[in-house]
Amino acid sequence: MTDAPVLASQLVSTQWLADHLGADGLVIADASVASFLRPDGRVGYLSGHEQYLLEGHIPGAVFADLIEEFSDPEGSYPFTRPDTARFEAAAGALGVDNDTTLVLYDTAVGQWASRVWWLFRAFGYDRVAVLDGGLTKWKAEGRELELGHVEPTPAVFTAVERPELWVEKADVEAVVRGEREAALVCATPPKEYSGEFVTRARGGHIPGSSSVPAGFLVDRDSNAVLDPEALREKLAPALGAPQIITYCGGGIAATAAALALTLVGERSVAVYDGSLNEWAADPEAPLITG
């Protein structure tokens, strides 16, 4: 097999991807999810597959279905991480084996792509990157798009779990009680952090958390991730902690914050998968508003 392109970072530029389109051993995947407001005022989610088919995607890109394939359908909350067997099946069906270079993108601010990137890392695989600026930047630069479905070439992927990349509710409770030393980073929008906007049982943030909204980690004009200095400024309250735990509403935006932390050199980062969906559902779990 021809060597797949080598990644120098967890982010690749649109130019890098344009230069490597069609390369052997490279899989490009659109991980987009569409969100909508339900009649009850809560946010619902739909697969971005229809958008991928009809509005266009990067040439050769396959579709990574985060809702159906890369999450646990039996999970207590939407987007619960899958078990090893399910993840291996989803990765293989996407055409990814253990020699593949995988580049992920989405049509939003990168959080859906970051979620799949984090899953691959948590299952032991590092030859994976997020496209900086995603499809928004690719389109803005007038680059080529392709319509219709691209069928992946099935592969076999073997995972090696890294449990240290996740934390559970009990771990976060220990941090809140002061029994475990870690910084908590909340990646929800500011009005969710403050409790002004409530999309689940209760509003607010976990005590001691710093607010780092995922949408503030990208440049509003280009959609590209902020430069390292600007990222450090946003993430400053958490930097250098023995462990940094990111969370959001459902473990998605949290992975964009985890990507940003990784880009500035933090190595002990974990995602609270249940996030506020789980935390706010427990009336005994403390939440701070304002």
What residues have CB less than 8 Å from 21, skipping those under 6 apart?
28, 58, 59, 60
What residues have CB less than 8 Å from 73, skipping those under 6 apart?
none
Is 186 catalytic? The answer is no
108 exposed, middle or buried (CB, 10 Å; 0-12, 13-18, 19+)?
A: buried
As a whole number of angstroms, the distance between CA 53 and CA 38 comes to 24
Beta bridge partners of 15: none
Q: Per the residue annotation, which of 113, 165, 187, 248 is the catalytic one?
A: 248
Nearest to 230 by CA among 263, 183, 189: 263
**84 within 8 A of 105, measured Cβ to Cβ:** no
Catalytic site positions = 248
